Amino acid sequence: MSRVHHAQEIRRRAGVTSRAAAFCLALAGSVPVASSALAETPLPRAKPSADIARLVATSTITPAALMPAITAPAPVAPSQGGDKAQLLVVPLPVPAPQNRPPAGSLAPPVAREAAFKRPSRKAVAKTYFGARTTPAPLAARSIGSYAKGCLAGGRALAINGPSWQVMRLSRNRNWGHPELIDFLESLAADAPRLGWNGLLVGDLAQPRGGPMLSGHASHQIGLDADIWLTPMPDRVLTRQEREEISAVSMLKGPSNLKNADRGVDPAKWTASRARLIRRAASDPRVARIFVHPGIKQALCRFETGNRGWLRKVRPWWGHHYHFHVRMACPAGSAGCKDQNPPPPGDGCGKELAWWLSDEPWVPKKSKKPSKPAKKKRGLSLAALPNACMDVLMAR
């Protein structure tokens, strides 16, 4: 092959290569290409396959606002052949953001609560208050009575503190009036000097108070708190441990048996527990503390000095795994209803003797067959103070 023919062959192959490259770039949308650049190698128009058709039909088109701006390159001058048409530059699709929640996932709590519809006042209150996951964005206020009310502007007790840990986190019941939260933090701070390592805190209230789906009849206005009679360990408990660990009963045995000894077990009960309860009852903000009668008996025996705080410690069923603190209505809580004050005296006499007898515990045999108990429907929203509907719906 002569040098001339060799040079012509190189130029011919280079022209084919450049036209092929131009065609690929045009398909990619990178540069506009004159139609004449492709005229020598016409391509048949192929139909998309079924797979491609399905892909197009099911693809999510990203809104233009989410697509990055693409700057068009400088226009290409027409070829010598005088082409009139230019290929349109189309930006490549941009993938959808990857930080979207997966399909079928729940909306964030705020979004769920934004869609909360105003219920009928005949509706069962616990269904709606139990569904609220955030506090009412209102001024702090305890509304109604301890067993028939709600909580505005609730504050959460941190699940971990210097000397406390919150238990049963799945219940989301670590909410209370700021006065209650302040009391718990103060009590926890004093616990170590009383010989108590720290508090394990049980139920307070739901984010907006109100009746609960399970458990307590009270704890509705953010002024009640259960404190375990088991000390905090020297390590941070896992979430699973906080669900599974059980508090320890302080009693010798069951109380519902005839002639039972309903006192505390001296192998479990300690003076540090008595000091902790005394410290809680001595706070002027505390109205009552509920304990099992056997624990009340142990406290009566423990105190040898000022017995005024014992008046606040009230015997009640249960409460042998924990003690239940109830705060008085805080200042500024219009519509909050306090209980009547406890009877005068330390409560260590005849009243306690009755609680330790069989009468409150052992049911009397009835000659008539007992009727099956009717299932209670639960308090309606109408049974709560009117302001509780505003608390429920506040956004």
Condensed to tens digits (0 to 9), the pLDDT of residues 99-117 reads: 333 333 333 343 345 456 8
Q: Tell me, yes or no, whether 82 and 187 share the same domain.
A: no
Q: Tell me, yes or no, whether 149 and 233 share the same domain.
A: yes
Give the pTM: 0.71
Q: Domain range for residue 226?
A: 109-363+378-393
Tokens of 100: 């979207």
Assigned domain for 326 exists: yes
Pick from 159-163, 313-317, 364-368: least confident = 364-368
- Rounded Cα distance between 93 and 60, Å, is 10
Q: Tell me, yes or no, whether 291 and 214 share the same domain.
A: yes
Q: Name the DSSP class of 186.
A: H
What is the predicted pLDDT for the residue at 117? 85
What is the predicted pLDDT for the residue at 373? 72
Q: Tell me, yes or no, whether 82 and 151 share the same domain.
A: no
Residue 137 confidence (pLDDT) above 60: yes
pLDDT, average across residues 171-197: 98
Beta bridge partners of 286: 327
Q: Which pLDDT tens digit goes with each residue over 258-317? A: 999 999 999 999 999 999 999 999 999 999 999 999 999 999 999 999 999 999 999 999
Assigned domain for 9 exists: no
Q: How many domains does the chain have?
A: 2
Residue 197 confidence (pLDDT) above 70: yes
Q: Which of 156, 230, 158 has its CA nearest to residue 199?
A: 230
Q: Which pLDDT tens digit goes with each residue over 203-255? A: 999 999 999 998 889 999 999 999 999 999 999 999 999 999 999 999 999 99
CATH number at residue 134: 3.30.1380.10
Tokens of 333: 């809580």
What is the predicted pLDDT for the residue at 376? 77
Average pLDDT for the chain = 79
Assigned domain for 26 exists: yes
Q: Tell me, yes or no, whether 203 and 302 share the same domain.
A: yes
What is the predicted pLDDT for the residue at 78? 39
Assigned domain for 369 exists: no
Q: How far is CA 277 from the centre of its chain?
A: 29
Q: Tell me, yes or no, whether 120 and 218 share the same domain.
A: yes
Q: Which of 251, 244, 242, 147 has its CA nearest to residue 201?
A: 242
Q: Tell me, yes or no, whether 248 and 310 share the same domain.
A: yes
* Phi and psi torsions of 243, nearest 5°: -85, -30
Torsion of CA 376, 379, 382, 385, to 10 degrees: 160
Q: Which pLDDT tens digit goes with each residue over 7-49? A: 455 455 544 444 444 444 444 444 443 433 333 334 344 443 3
What is the predicted pLDDT for the residue at 11? 52
Residue 385 confidence (pLDDT) above 70: yes
| Angle formed at CA 389 by CA 385 and CA 390, multiple of 5 degrees | 110
- Rounded Cα distance between 5 and 10, Å, is 9
pLDDT, average across residues 136-160: 98
Q: Tell me, yes or no, whether 130 and 81 share the same domain.
A: no
Q: Tell me, yes or no, whether 34 and 153 share the same domain.
A: no
What is the predicted pLDDT for the residue at 365? 80
Which of residues 32 and 362 earns the better pLDDT score? 362
Assigned domain for 338 exists: yes
Q: Tell me, yes or no, whether 258 and 115 share the same domain.
A: yes
Which of residues 213 and 92 earns the better pLDDT score? 213
Q: Which pLDDT tens digit goes with each residue over 302-352? A: 999 999 999 999 999 999 999 999 999 999 899 999 999 999 999 999 999
Assigned domain for 159 exists: yes
